[in-house]
Structure 1
Amino acid sequence: MLISEAYAQAGGGTTDMLTSLLPLVLIFVVFYFLLIRPQQKKMKDHKAMIEAVRRGDTVTTSGGIIGKVTKVQEDGVLQIEIAEGVKVKVVKGTITEVRAKGAEVDEGDKAEKAS
């Protein structure tokens, strides 16, 4: 009798469906509050900022161009003046920052314009 008899083990590892899905649900909740919700709020604020752009506002585009809004068109296009007599059309979605109406550009930009 060198070989012992094998007995079937009892099913001790029974877990229900809720316990196995709980970690996935917790991960989703954490992702929602740390990633999804703040991103949705940021997008909502950006959309409101773009809708509030008016003639005379100083804006910054995603390309880094700073200019003064001279015309707001209905089809989602702005005309901005980036230098005296130089006007450029840009899409509203490319606006990253709206400064106060008629705000001056900072001192570094003034020095560049003077030279």
Structure 2
Amino acid sequence: MEMLTTILPLLLMFAIFWFLLIRPQQKRQKAIREMHAALQKGDKIITIGGLHGVIDSIDEDIMVILVNDNRKLTFDRNAVREVVNPD
């Protein structure tokens, strides 16, 4: 019984830590992975550096973004922060 009263607060702290920190972070990472997997040509995006553009071509790891004056820039697929397609 004494051992249970010693371990119970530690287990409770771990459970609170899990539900407040670890689980939400895993959900965010999953959403980002799904967004990166769903990228396609024509999507309007914003990169992690703040660059706005339209995806001109995309493959497994690299994409070409069309920016102002039809200039093309090559970025890593993981550089996309968000897709801003109007719905």
Q: Same fold (TM over 0.5)?
A: yes
Q: List per-residue Cα deviations over 1:59-114 (Å, max 9, x = no partner).
A: 0000000000000012x1111011122111111111110111xx5xxxxxxxxxxx
1:77 matched to 2:67: no
The SS at the match of 1:54 is coil
Distance in 2 of aligned mates of 1:22 and 1:92: 45
For structure 1, list consecutive stretches of 5 or more residues without a partner in the other structure: 1-14, 104-115
1:96 matched to 2:81: yes
Superposed CA RMSD in Å reads: 1.2
From the CA coordinates, give the structure whose radius of gyration is larger. 1
Q: In the alignment, which of 17, 21, 24 is matched to residue 10 of structure 2?
A: 24
Pick 1 or 2: higher relative contact order, CA cutoff 8 A, min separation 6.
2
* Count of residue pairs brought into register by the alignment: 86
Per the normalisation by structure 2, the TM-score is 0.92
Partner of 2:32: 46
Distance in 1 of aligned mates of 2:2 and 2:79: 51
Distance in 1 of aligned mates of 2:71 and 2:43: 16
Deviating above 3 A after TM superposition, structure 1's stretches of 4 or more consecutive aligned residues are none
Per the normalisation by structure 1, the TM-score is 0.71
Q: Shift of the alpha carbon at 1:22?
A: 1.0
Partner of 2:48: 62
